[in-house]
Amino acid sequence: EVVLTQSPGSLSLSPGERATLSCRASQSVITTYLAWYQQKPGQAPRLLMKGTSIRAPGFPDRFSGSGSGTDFTLTISGLEPDDFAVYYCFYYGSAPWTFGQGTKVEIK
């Protein structure tokens, strides 16, 4: 079973700053099956990235994903007010599928 550990738990940044979110897997995973979700209060999660680095429709190119093996990163270059949310990594390459515990990106 793959366990995903996200860090930091929360990030306090100002608009315009760069956010770097980490997701570490307990074992090497297949990049094809690593995704990221964005969740805002009162809403269902929204797929942000799949296949480690493929942005979902509707997300601008200030969002980028990278990584391989056990270490994955979501980078938001130049935070916009709409980007402040909770971000989850998710692995679905082998059952049981699993979410990281989330990183909250807050306005400083």
Partner 1 sequence: QVQLQESGPGLVKPSQTLSLTCTVSGGTVDTGGHFWTWVRQRPGAGLEWIGYIYYTRSTHYNPSLESRVTISLDTSLNQVSLKLTSVSAADTALYFCTWGLDQWGPGTLVTVSS
- Residues in contact with partner 1 by CB under 8 A are 1, 35, 37, 39, 44-47, 50, 56, 86, 88, 90, 92, 95-102
The per-type count for the chain, helices as H runs and strands as E runs, is: 0, 11
* Cis, peptide link before residue 81, omega less than 30° from 0: no
Smallest distance, partner 1 to C-beta of residue 86, A: 8
Smallest distance, partner 1 to C-beta of residue 36, A: 10
Residue nearer to partner 1 on the CB measure, 58 or 81: 58
Residue nearer to partner 1 on the CB measure, 66 or 94: 94
Contact call for residues 102 and 76 (beta carbons, < 8 A): no
Question: What is the distance between the alpha carbons of residues 5 and 59, in angstroms, rounded to a whole number?
Answer: 24
